[in-house]
Structure 1
Amino acid sequence: MHRLDAARLFRLVLERGVAGSRYHGSAEEGVPVRDIAEVIGRHLNLPVVSVAPEQAAGHFGWLAYFLGLNSPASSVLTQQQLGWHPAQPTLLADLNQGSYFNG
């Protein structure tokens, strides 16, 4: 989720949120890790290769567990309850703009 969408959501939770409630902020669902890696690899001029599931722990360490989960997140309820709707570029669009890779 874009930082500006996150900032607006935090503000809305503080202003309108119900104490004890949980709100989930995600701008999109089901972005494949491979797609994220490909964008990053392209901008850094690095090859992107697949890692077999049995090699993931050795390659990614503790992060392998989370990368192996198939648990898409949704902010539909948060959007309905708070009237919040992400308006900024999606993750891949934002990464493709290249500003993270300058400098």
Structure 2
Amino acid sequence: MRRCAAAGFAGCPADGANLWGAVHVRDAASAFRLALEKGPAGRCWHAVQDGGIPFREIAEAVGSRLGLPAVSVPADELMLPGYFGFLTAVVTLDLPASSLITRRILGWEPAQPTLLADLADGHYFPAG
């Protein structure tokens, strides 16, 4: 959040169409518990509530809370140690995911707010 405030905007890589999955930490913990209790050995599980949030929407939600515009950072600038710094390689990834198998086999259902709802409620921002 400090980087956004210092830059005067909430950035997203290129057009911000790259997708990110998200899950609340409590829901992830619930999926992990169910995997230990019910899951067949050797299986992999995806605990995602939001299977593909466009990064631009995340930047817009952050910007909204901080009173800053969401701005596209051109791809050619992303490799510079500028706005995204050491996270450049990560924020540019397209990471859609599905938890359909996890939900079906383990009976897992997320109960906590989605990432965008949590951002809108201000849970990731300092009070004051």
Structure 2, unaligned runs of 5 or more:
1-22
Match of 1:72 among 96, 99, 118: 96
In the TM superposition, residue 16 of structure 1 has moved relative to its aligned partner by: 1.0
Deviations 1:46-99 (A, max 9, x none): 332111111112132442233223231111111111110112211101110112
Q: How far apart in 2 are the matches of 1:99 and 1:65?
A: 26
Q: How does 1:1-103 map to 2 (within 5 A)?
A: 1-58=23-80, 59-103=83-127
- Give the corresponding residue for 2:5: none
> What is the DSSP-based 3-state SS (H/G/I as helix, E as strand, rest coil) of the residue aligned with 2:52?
coil
Give TM-score, length-normalised by structure 1: 0.86
Q: How far apart in 2 are the matches of 1:47 and 1:101?
A: 16
Q: How far apart in 2 are the matches of 1:8 and 1:71?
A: 22
Q: Quick check: which one's helix share is greater?
A: 1
**Identical positions, percent:** 50
Give TM-score, length-normalised by structure 2: 0.71
Q: How far apart in 2 are the matches of 1:80 and 1:23?
A: 11
Across the two proteins, how many residue pairs are aligned to each other? 103
Q: Quick check: which one's strand share is greater?
A: 2
Q: What's the C-alpha RMSD, in Å, of the aligned pairs?
A: 1.6
Higher relative contact order (CA 8 A, sep 6+): 1
> What is the DSSP-based 3-state SS (H/G/I as helix, E as strand, rest coil) of the residue aligned with 1:20?
coil
